[in-house]
Structure 1
């Protein structure tokens, strides 16, 4: 995925500690551990720019949920508010391991924080999984925070979290801020939280421009006129904004996280992939809510690619013509799922491509599996045919976290035990409040 270096049909990659030192054919290196990648595609790990990792505890519950149903059950006093600190730890450990198993080496964890102990539990879960992540510290999920009249902002504990856990940017976990934005809080709260994120040197992520909130709010225009847009802002969804607002975002360098499967399913609106590209932007990809979909990026790449192709093709069909060459290419989508995502999270100097000098975050995909063999186009194989079962190995910062199809350095029986205990507790606590509609 490094355009300057190009792709190799066959090559060696030398890693020292956590850093890629060299990639070339027939490297002459002695006194090394040899990792045999014969008949495998070696590529950068996927970068998921928007995921609510803790929702792994209530996985599969939302297969038939619309967006309002999801919000009622998860936020606003729903499942999220019942989490104990120990549940937060179990949830993020499980959710991060799911991501790693599927070849996602980096993600942004968009959180709701109920106490300092909850924050510490979530962070510890990510740390123990061994994933690279932006921990986006968020406001409580209680209803009083999620209202356009709310001037509340995230807890002052965010300063402790920054000092205690994210004092350096040269570590696997870095700092982000998950703010409600102008469509879920008072404008003054949005401004204060964006400024707080910049004070903390943190990526600032917010949900904007989707569902019935999007068309009339002109949230991006308001941010643009206030001089607040910039490369450190990450907009989630952005399905139903004004067409000119996509250009405002693109010109500012701000990113959009598109979560195509969930957006089409839950009622956010049609994925904005093409609209952002047409205005000079580069979209990124996220899984979003694992209540309702699997936690892998192979699925999201397919949804993104085919949704945008369907949009373009339908316009052509409406003109009584037939599509010729397809517009969006598989190579572009693979870029969105790797380097573009890394750039959106401020991590492209570290990861996103296999480049000497960058950290060794990479995956190995078996091409001998029946769903991939014989493959003529490696990019097409990854984007259109592969799935998590094909991921043989995953390395993060040069450390193997999955080898020969098995996660390493983790007691999965213990993970299942604590996750199941937390799940049973959550369902019991949720039933006692009769808050939701499940």
Structure 2
């Protein structure tokens, strides 16, 4: 007697990510109630399961949905607003003044809608966000159907959103309470950076994160100037200061982590921290090349992030996989560094692990949520194909994403997003905000 399933997907290749380095050919994946039932050869799948729907992917590679471990989604409204500037000038002369004038719940909601739609079309099913007005961001992620960890941003400096660190925390925790129990949305504590958050606030954040079992999402050691300033002000490198204040641990996601010495890498490994590697942003802002081979060798869990569209200017994890692999090779002078399977793992399971979601997403194992991405490899740009994982990292781009499922529900089909908001409306929102920002 056949077993029932909601969905049966037959693919040319399936890369489950777990076990490592495995590629399944001519296999199928069975899904029911939003979860993976089984991966098995196509002939067996057709005999075993009676599915309400079947999808044929004869020239496709099926992978876990991608996990964007660091972004500022609402900053899609600032894409290209201030290019070709180093980090601190970019922040102080362009971004912070623009945010001070324009950020509002509407800005965050509309910018996040645009970002979520862009990520979804590019195979991203989960993102780790950090910005103001987390309630508005959560509304947008919910409307698009993306899985997200929404950051409760904290800094000492006033913005239109909050007046001081206590106000940021109070408003962020209230937003978290309103969305508690949502099946796709979680929250993190998101202190902006060591140089914008005081010791007492960081200690309080560490305590709250422990109570809530929430991630701590923080920029750290992005530039060499950040380190020299910290040594002058505190007598410690930023990561050493964070350890002293109890911020570092398995729940910590250290974003960028470009300028690391051996003691920094040892500290991140010893305390089981996670790193969100953002290679495009690091290059565009001339921050540097993160020592990813050294982090990986030390056992640090490294995932991939895009950063915001204002400093990238794409929310494209295929681009990040390729750059991460190439930069690891050239920086270590080892062509074998960060092979394709490892780059894919960074964009999937490693990001899920950093968010504490690896029991639910990040790989294609029975029992996990059916967050999937299909990439079509059937044109002249992608043939011949000897190794589909190599193609994912070095050849394909987000334009080859053909299908996306979240919890087994189709969100992208044949390259077209199945959204409750139309492209026309998204383009209208973008045009409205562009007019406001340049006026």
| TM-score scaled by length of structure 2 | 0.87
Partners of 1:100 and 1:238 lie apart in 2 by 27
Partner residue, 1:389:
399
Partner residue, 2:413:
403
Displacement of 1:225 in angstroms is 3.8
Partners of 1:373 and 1:63 lie apart in 2 by 35
Q: Is the contact between residue 73 and residue 116 of structure 2 (CA under 8 Å) also seen in structure 1? A: yes
Is 1:339 aligned to residue 357 of structure 2? no
Displacement of 1:281 in angstroms is 1.2
Q: Is the contact between residue 301 and residue 354 of structure 2 (CA under 8 Å) also seen in structure 1? A: no
Partners of 2:56 and 2:360 lie apart in 1 by 24
Q: C-alpha root-mean-square deviation of aligned residues, in Å? A: 2.2
Partner residue, 1:135:
150
Partner residue, 1:184:
196
Describe how 1:235-384 pairs up with structure 2 within 5 A: 235-291=254-310, 292-313=312-333, 326-384=336-394
- What CA deviation, in whole Å up to 9, does each residue of 1:165-198 have, x standing for no partner? 1x22x61111112103422222111111222222
Which runs of 5 or more residues in structure 2 are unaligned?
1-16
Displacement of 1:155 in angstroms is 3.4
- Where 2:36 maps in the other structure, the secondary structure is strand
Is 1:424 aligned to residue 435 of structure 2? yes
C-alpha distance 373-96 of structure 1, shift in aligned 2 (>3 A): same
C-alpha distance 383-93 of structure 1, shift in aligned 2 (>3 A): same
Is 1:18 aligned to residue 18 of structure 2? no
Partners of 2:317 and 2:255 lie apart in 1 by 16
Partners of 1:329 and 1:5 lie apart in 2 by 10
Partner residue, 1:124:
139
- Where 1:33 maps in the other structure, the secondary structure is strand
Q: Is the contact between residue 293 and residue 337 of structure 2 (CA under 8 Å) also seen in structure 1? A: no
- What CA deviation, in whole Å up to 9, does each residue of 1:290-340 have, x standing for no partner? 123211011111111111111122xxxxxxxxx6x5222111111111100
- What CA deviation, in whole Å up to 9, does each residue of 1:384-425 have, x standing for no partner? 011111000111111111001101133111111122212322
Aligned length: 407
1 or 2, which has the higher strand percentage?
A: 2
Q: Is the contact between residue 206 and residue 246 of structure 2 (CA under 8 Å) also seen in structure 1? A: no
Q: Is the contact between residue 72 and residue 78 of structure 1 (CA under 8 Å) also seen in structure 2? A: no
- Among residues 415, 425, 439, which one is paired with 1:414 in the alignment? 425
Partners of 2:165 and 2:424 lie apart in 1 by 44
Q: Say which is worse superposed, 217-226 or 201-210, in terms of deviation.
A: 217-226
Partners of 2:136 and 2:159 lie apart in 1 by 24
Q: Say which is worse superposed, 363-372 or 63-72, in terms of deviation.
A: 63-72
C-alpha distance 8-126 of structure 1, shift in aligned 2 (>3 A): same
C-alpha distance 76-142 of structure 1, shift in aligned 2 (>3 A): farther
Q: Is the contact between residue 75 and residue 142 of structure 1 (CA under 8 Å) also seen in structure 2? A: no
Partners of 1:88 and 1:180 lie apart in 2 by 17
Partners of 2:280 and 2:159 lie apart in 1 by 29
Which runs of 5 or more residues in structure 1 are unaligned?
314-322, 429-438
- What CA deviation, in whole Å up to 9, does each residue of 1:242-277 have, x standing for no partner? 321212111222101110111122132222312312
Q: Is the contact between residue 61 and residue 388 of structure 2 (CA under 8 Å) also seen in structure 1? A: yes
- Among residues 158, 169, 193, which one is paired with 2:172 in the alignment? 158
Q: Say which is worse superposed, 76-85 or 98-107, in terms of deviation.
A: 76-85
Partners of 2:20 and 2:221 lie apart in 1 by 36
Is 1:49 aligned to residue 60 of structure 2? no
Q: Is the contact between residue 210 and residue 238 of structure 1 (CA under 8 Å) also seen in structure 2? A: yes
- Where 2:57 maps in the other structure, the secondary structure is coil
- What CA deviation, in whole Å up to 9, does each residue of 1:346-399 have, x standing for no partner? 110110001110000011101102221221101100000111110001111111
Partners of 1:74 and 1:48 lie apart in 2 by 25
Partner residue, 2:10:
none
Partners of 2:193 and 2:315 lie apart in 1 by 25
Q: Is the contact between residue 77 and residue 142 of structure 1 (CA under 8 Å) also seen in structure 2? A: no
Displacement of 1:73 in angstroms is 4.8
